[in-house]
Structure formats: structure tokens, C-alpha cells
Amino acid sequence: MISRRVNDIEYAIRDIAVIANQVEQKGKKIYRLNIGDPLKYDFITPPFISDALAKVSHDGKNFYADSLGVLELRKEISKFLKNKKKIDVTHDDILVTAGVTEGIYFLLAALIERGEEFLIPGPTYPLYINNTKFYDGIPVEYELDENEGWDPNIDDMRKKITNKTQGILICSPNNPTGGIFSSEKVKQIIDLAGEYNLPILSDEIYDQITYEKEYVSPVSLSKDVPVIAMNGFSKSDLMTGWRLGYLYYHDPENKLTELKEGMAKLARARLSASSIAQYAAIEIFRTKSDHTKELVRKLKERRDYSYNRIRKIEGISCVNANGAFYLFPKIDFNEFDRWDNDKDFVIDLLKETGVCSVYGSGFGDFGKGHIRLTFLPNKDILEEVYDHIENFLK
């Protein structure tokens, strides 16, 4: 006995891990390049943040927090947005969540009625597909054009807006492509959203993990179109397991008043995000630290190494990542008779070499024919991984 809505949930990133565990039990070494968690590799939470966690717990901050989030933390986030990103939102515009994940659940719960549509990039993070369906809505993918560095195809987006569309998602830097949407395309999306009176949801979890290309936030480009931006501490502060994030509303014309009230109701109904995580996170804003810069420096080396290995493999092509920590190469199935789809390829690669990647179709229809590989492991491990992939394809 299980509801249809739960039965239909698919999450390729973790579903493939089940097969990896079976292969591991047979004695094979597994290279887990499927999960976007730096802490599973040689990255650690900065010690001053861990120390802050222990301290606030000893200091007795172990109660349920305010449902909207600890006030001091929301004030620090507001100051940070103003100083670092020139974004003007007060603490009243900020809601602290248990990771961006909870923000996504809340927003789609509040926005989507049965049969309504939500426009998402194709390919993108599977949670958006799952959660839209979970609330009986229809995820509609607009194309990210691989030939244009995975920039959005605005004509395709326009064609897909209907009277059932409830919002448009921007996810930049994007998972799984590593692409950063160009400012021109973001402006065009904002104009389109304005034309159809739609809110924009902006997933900015990777906004501090960028390489050559500059990231510009949709909020800073939008005058009057409402944007709900989601961000968190998981990736840039190396705190994936803490489950802490936030969202904020850019709403100069007060179009989101009802939505904000609904979101606050949802927040109250789940009591609060972790109080000790919130009190400890305040220290991140009050302490000078280069941990994010250092993370990006290491990741860039690993990206460069991975990209240089991949692009030399025959039958695979790859757009380099501008942000996040994934490469999303395309497999030319005309070159290889043995497989005709990404899922079979990924499973065979895993069984034969122990390299665990994620099949691109797990990120929506536009991901078909691709695989996602993180470049989180250190160079020695990456070297083994790419030797294996090369030999496998020979």
C-alpha cells in the first residue's frame, strides 16, 4: 500500500547508488562520482563553524527556533546580501529553511494546484521534476542549448508558457550542466515573466562556486518582476549534512504578499529549521575566512584536469563547466554499438569499472544521451577514473 505520488518519485542520483552498493558487495572498488557532496571527498566543514555548533549547543540554544528563522541570522543574511551582492531585502523578506530542498518543497506546495504547470530548465536538478509532480502539477522543460554553452533557449520557453504556467525556474549555475545563464538570457527571461505576470524562482545554491564566467543574480537584474531566490550553506560553506538554507523575496510591487503568507504558514506547520545550525551559521557572517575561495581554487584544478581528460576521449564531447562541480558529457551512441541509451551505458560502466556516474535522462528529457560526473575527488582518484573510462570505451 503506497500512494501514487510517492511511488512515482525518482531520484537518479541516489537510485544509481543502490546498484553501486550491489556491485561493491561483489568486491569491486567503487568511484562515487554520482553525489554532489564535497564532504564525501577530501573537503571538511571549516573548524570555526563546527566549533560554533558545539558552543551554541553548550550555551543552550537547543530549543525550537522561530519558524521563519532565527532573527539574528536573518539580519546577517540581509546585511550580506546588501554588502556583497547589492541586493536590498530586509530580514522580513527572508525565510530560513532546512536546506534549499525544503524551500523547493514549500514553494511548489504553495504555487502548484492539480494540473498546473511549472517551467524548469531542461536538463536540471531532478527535485524540481519530482516535486512538481508530487503536488499533481506538470513540470515543463524549456531547452538549455548545449551548442550555446547550455544557455536557455528563450523561443522554446516562450512557446511553452500557457495559461496554466505558475512560474519559471532559473537554476544558475546549473546542475547537471555546470552552465551559468548569460545576463542577456536572464534579462530576456525576466521580460518574459513580466509579460505573462509570472514569478521567477531562482536556485542560487552554486552562486559562489564559479570559474571564469561571471555570475549575475536575477534579482539584481529585475526591477519589478518578483523573484524568489533560494540559497544555502551546503555547498559554499561545506555543510551539506547540516540541512540549512534560506530563501528571500524580491517583490517591489507586493505581488507576493499572499504567497509569503502561505509560505509562513507552511513554515509554522513544520515548527522550525535546526536551531543550533542557525545559531552556528551566524558565525560564518561574523568571521573572516577564505574557505569558499579555497574550495573554488581546488575545484577549478579538478575541473581542468577532468575536462582535459574527457575531451580527449573519442566518442565523447563535453561543454566545460563554468560553475558548480559537475561535467555533463555527451556520449555519441553512433560510435558505440553496445549501448543505445545513457542509463544502460552508466550501469555497464559501473559494473565493469566501478565508476559510478548518473544517467543524463535522470535530469529530464533534455539530459538524454549524457552522463553526469562530479569533479569533487582529488586528482589521484580522478586519474584512475578517467583511465577506467578510457579503457572501457576502447
Ligand X SMILES: Cc1ncc(COP(=O)(O)O)c(C=O)c1O
Among the candidate windows 97-105, 290-298, 362-370, 371-379, which touches ligand X by CB under 6 A? 97-105
Among 34, 45, 101, 275, binds ligand X (CB under 6 A): 101
Among 33, 52, 100, 200, binds ligand X (CB under 6 A): 100
Least Cβ distance, residue 328 to ligand X (angstroms): 13
Closest alpha carbon to 49 in 276, 377, 247, 294: 276
How far apart CA 160 and CA 372 sit, in angstroms, is 26
Site string for ligand X, 180-219 (x = CB under 6 A): -----------------------x-x--------------
125 binds ligand X (CB under 6 A): yes
99 binds ligand X (CB under 6 A): yes
Site string for ligand X, 23-62 (x = CB under 6 A): -------------x--------------------------
Is residue 291 within 8 A of residue 238, CB to CB? The reply is: yes
Among 45, 172, 175, 208, binds ligand X (CB under 6 A): 175
Residue carrying C-alpha cell 546498484: 19
3-state secondary structure string across 166-179: EEEEEECCCCCCCC
Nearest residue (beta carbon) to ligand X: 99
> What residues numbered 224-243 form the site for ligand X, per CB under 6 A?
232, 234, 240
Among the candidate windows 2-10, 95-103, 257-265, 312-320, which touches ligand X by CB under 6 A? 95-103
> Strand order in 138-145's β-sheet?
94-97, 245-250, 227-232, 200-203, 165-171, 117-122, 138-145, 151-152
122 binds ligand X (CB under 6 A): no
278 binds ligand X (CB under 6 A): no
Site string for ligand X, 292-331 (x = CB under 6 A): ----------------------------------------
Reported residue count of the chain is 394
How far apart CA 350 and CA 26 sit, in angstroms, is 12
245 binds ligand X (CB under 6 A): yes
Please give the full DSSP string across 57-122, using - where no structure is assigned.
HHTT--SPPPTT--HHHHHHHHHHHHHHH-----GGGEEEESHHHHHHHHHHHHH--TT-EEEEEE
Return the number of the residue (31 or 125) whose C-beta is nearest ligand X.
Answer: 125
Q: How many Å is the Cα radius of gyration of the chain?
A: 21
129 binds ligand X (CB under 6 A): no
Closest alpha carbon to 173 in 29, 313, 320, 273: 320
> What DSSP character marks residue 25?
H
Beta-carbon contacts of 387 under 8 Å, excluding residues fewer than 6 positions away, are none
> What DSSP character marks residue 354?
-
Least Cβ distance, residue 321 to ligand X (angstroms): 13
Among the candidate windows 96-104, 207-215, 303-311, 368-376, which touches ligand X by CB under 6 A? 96-104
- The footprint of ligand X (CB under 6 A) covers 36, 99-101, 125, 171, 175, 203, 205, 232, 234, 240, 245
